[in-house]
Chains A and B, each alone.
Chain A
Amino acid sequence: MKGIAVSTTVNGDAVEFVCDARETLLDVLRNHLGLTGAKEGCGTGDCGACSVLLDGQLVCSCLVLGAEVEGREIETVEGMADGDRLHPLQKRFLEHAALQCGVCTPGFLVAAKALLERNSNPSESEIRYALAGNLCRCTGYDKIVHAVHAAAGDLRRQQKARKKRKAAG
């Protein structure tokens, strides 16, 4: 098997791996890099459980080839928390009981993060459409939408506080 050598950045760390042309980014993350947070629910891009950010864009890692991430930046659920400080989305998912079995949760968190980076104050409908590529079979999405909405507020407040500090400093 002829391997393809790939250099990339995963959650801020420089990473090198060798993969087969046929291996997807999801295969690489789970089988080569030991990052099993992204899940394979279907392998066809239908469920979103394998969602990661690729150069800041939300993608299904099962539909991207490992070789295609050369020189790009990947962010997975494992990179969301800042050290021991959970991301506001992670906190709000817990507080709002927005997960039951939790297997879709990594994908939802990443998808919600992609949304909030683009739109800091999304409406209910914008949240719902932004998460339409992620299947959850446990919650009926109700508490997920509430959690994302609350986390959006947190992030806006954080932003404001940061600006204030800057102005004061």
Chain B
Amino acid sequence: MLKDMMTRFELYRPTALADAYELIDQFGAGAWLMAGGQDSLDWFKDRAKQPRAVIELSQIEGMTGVRETADGVEIGALTTLAEIEENALVRERYGLLVSAASHVASPQIRNVGTIGGNLCQDTRCWYYRAGLSCYRAGGNICYADSPEGMNREHCLFGASRCVAVSPSDTAPALVALDASMVVSSRKGERVVRAERFFVGPDVDIQRMTALQPGEILTAIRIPSAFSSANFYFEKVAERKTWDFALVSVAAALRIESGTIRDARIVCGGVECRPRRMRDAEDAIRGREQNAETAGAAARRSAGGARPLRYNEYKIPLVENLVTRAVRDA
């Protein structure tokens, strides 16, 4: 009994989505969907989450693997990060995602952790994870944004009562690739663009994605628009490996004879959702890819940033990472 005991739960391992929906209905708010479990177990051991029923999804058919589609690829939500790293198709066309996936946690965790789990994981804010009753946990205070808060890892943008950031390494890459999320429920399937899939506290303070109760992320579709484009991924963390990002950047640039035709630049670790650097993108479309253009992008990447007491360093970090992304992609 090293970590705290997990609270009692029933474990279900449905073999079909329909059974999973049934279980979700049965247990309502007491149900917890578990993919690889690499973050879930941590929550349970901390007793910060105490589900009555854990619905483990690995036995459901058709939710793993990479398939080629008419317009790109579709990746099953239960595909492990290690499988994505090694998949030939993804490597050939979407090196940006491979790079992001390979920066997640440790080899052990990438072997079990899934892309769906990585995208849907909850924030790392240590007040929230400690089980404190903050806004996100249904309370009426943000500990990180109080005068006493330790907030060097928190957000620059999009604060709305909560100042947590999105922890996922793969989310910025998928937003940059303009991916879509396939969301299934008893009612059927809906497809949500990655950019809208991740939501800030202004939209829903208790959830980080657009998933509604009863919905399951089943697949990720990546269109061919940025297939084999010029990519740049970099993650700055306190420890170079096995750590969460302080700030990360994922960029996809379409470059034709030295000129940037299109660009999507996304930062992680600066907002509760992956932050698209639209001003920076606008500033570089149609321009030559060079240091000057990169500088122009950087100057437009941190506008509107509202640093907290301990995270002002993230502003130069964002600017510098955007510079590199545009210059070196």
Contacts and interface: CB of A to CB of B under 8 A. Distances in A.
Touching in the complex, A and B, CB below 8 A? yes
B9 A133 contact: no
A58 B109 CA distance: 9
A85 interface: no
Contacts of B38: 45, 60, 63
Contact of B54 (A21, A60, A62): A21
B37 A22 contact: no
A29 interface: no
B56 interface: yes
A21 B10 CA distance: 6
A60 B6 CA distance: 17
B11 A132 contact: no
Contacts of B7: 22
Contact of A57 (B8, B9, B11, B111): B111
Report the contact-size class of chain B (Cβ under 8 Å from the partner): 20 to 34
Contact of A44 (B3, B9, B56): B3
Contacts, number: 87
Query: What's the dominant secondary structure at chain A's contact region?
Result: mixed
A130 B11 CA distance: 32
A133 B56 contact: no
A64 interface: yes
A76 interface: no
5 nearest A-B pairs in the assembled complex, by CB-CB distance: A133-B106, A43-B3, A21-B11, A43-B2, A22-B6
Interface of B: 2-3, 5-11, 13, 37-38, 41-42, 44-45, 54, 56, 58, 82, 105-109, 111-112, 241-242
Given A48-B108, A57-B112, A132-B107, 16 more contacts: A21-B54, A22-B5, A22-B8, A24-B41, A42-B2, A43-B2, A44-B45, A45-B42, A45-B106, A54-B112, A58-B108, A63-B42, A64-B112, A67-B13, A68-B13, A68-B37
